[in-house]
């Protein structure tokens, strides 16, 4: 029996997607599951520099990590691959790798690059295509502050337009002292997107020790099976 898949996307760059992916992995590991995290394409990182997948491995010891390609320019994967003369990663390649990982893991998390419709290939392949090929629900990681209502609503709408399931929204970096916009956004997001907010990850969480990270992740997102993260309104 193979494992299940969950795709993690962001409403844009810098919203805390990697920390959220690690937190989801930590919750599953704490529940005794074998977890793999796949990053199909990493951009803006040199060959010997740590990337997002290394951050996940640092925060969640014992998780299996896999990165298919990395490109030095901090651009969309398709553009970054073209600029350095490298082959792009296709959604099909990402899906095949995820299925291979699922042969030996209970949960495979697939972390995108940037937002849902950022292109992996010049032909238009995106993370949404990976989710479609895997039949996977998608967790949307959003910012806390001004502008997040529109960005999150657009992402959820794009998922539904493609027949994909939104498993919920996670705020990737919740401030210790939220301002008026952030407090109002927390109330408005479920109404505007018709999707549940599953957790608020405190800002700076990526800088704590693995033990502390696991504890905060469990308190914030769990205990809950990701397979149950299914909003009936999605």
Residues acting as catalytic residues? 39
Number of helices (H) and strands (E) in the chain: give both, helices first.
8, 7
The Cβ-side half-sphere exposure at 110, using a 13 Å CA radius, reads: 34
User: With contact defined as beta carbons under 8 Å apart, do 89 and 41 qualify?
Assistant: yes
> Distance between the two ends of the chain, CA-based, in angstroms?
27
**How far is residue 105's CA from residue 157's CA, in Å, rounded to a whole number?**
31
Task: Give ∠ CA 97-103-109 in degrees, rounded to 5.
Answer: 55
User: With contact defined as beta carbons under 8 Å apart, do 163 and 190 qualify?
Assistant: no
What are the C-alpha distances in Å from 32 to residues 29, 35, 114, 209? 5, 9, 30, 20
């Amino acid at each position: 029996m193979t494992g299940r898949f969950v795709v993690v996307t962001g409403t844009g760059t810098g919203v805390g997607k990697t920390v959220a992916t690690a937190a989801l992995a930590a919750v599953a590991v704490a529940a005794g599951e074998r977890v793999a995290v796949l990053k199909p394409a990493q951009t803006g990182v040199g060959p010997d520099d740590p990337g997002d997948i290394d951050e996940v491995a640092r925060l969640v010891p014992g998780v299996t990590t896999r990165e298919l390609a990395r490109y030095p320019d901090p651009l969309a994967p398709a553009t970054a691959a073209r600029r350095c003369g490298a082959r792009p990663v296709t959604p099909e390649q990402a899906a095949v790798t995820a299925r291979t990982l699922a042969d030996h893991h209970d949960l495979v998390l697939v972390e995108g690059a940037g937002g849902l419709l950022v292109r992996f290939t010049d032909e238009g392949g995106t993370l949404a295509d990976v989710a479609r090929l895997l039949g996977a629900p998608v967790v949307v990681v959003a910012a806390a502050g001004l502008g997040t209502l529109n960005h999150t609503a657009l992402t959820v709408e794009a998922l539904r337009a493609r027949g994909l399931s939104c498993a919920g929204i996670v705020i990737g970096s919740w401030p210790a002292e939220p301002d008026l916009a952030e407090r109002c956004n927390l109330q408005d997001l479920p109404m505007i997107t018709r999707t549940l907010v599953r957790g608020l990850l405190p800002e700076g969480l990526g800088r704590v020790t693995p033990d502390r990270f696991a504890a905060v992740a469990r308190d914030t997102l769990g205990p809950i099976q990701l397979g149950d993260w299914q909003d009936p309104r999605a």
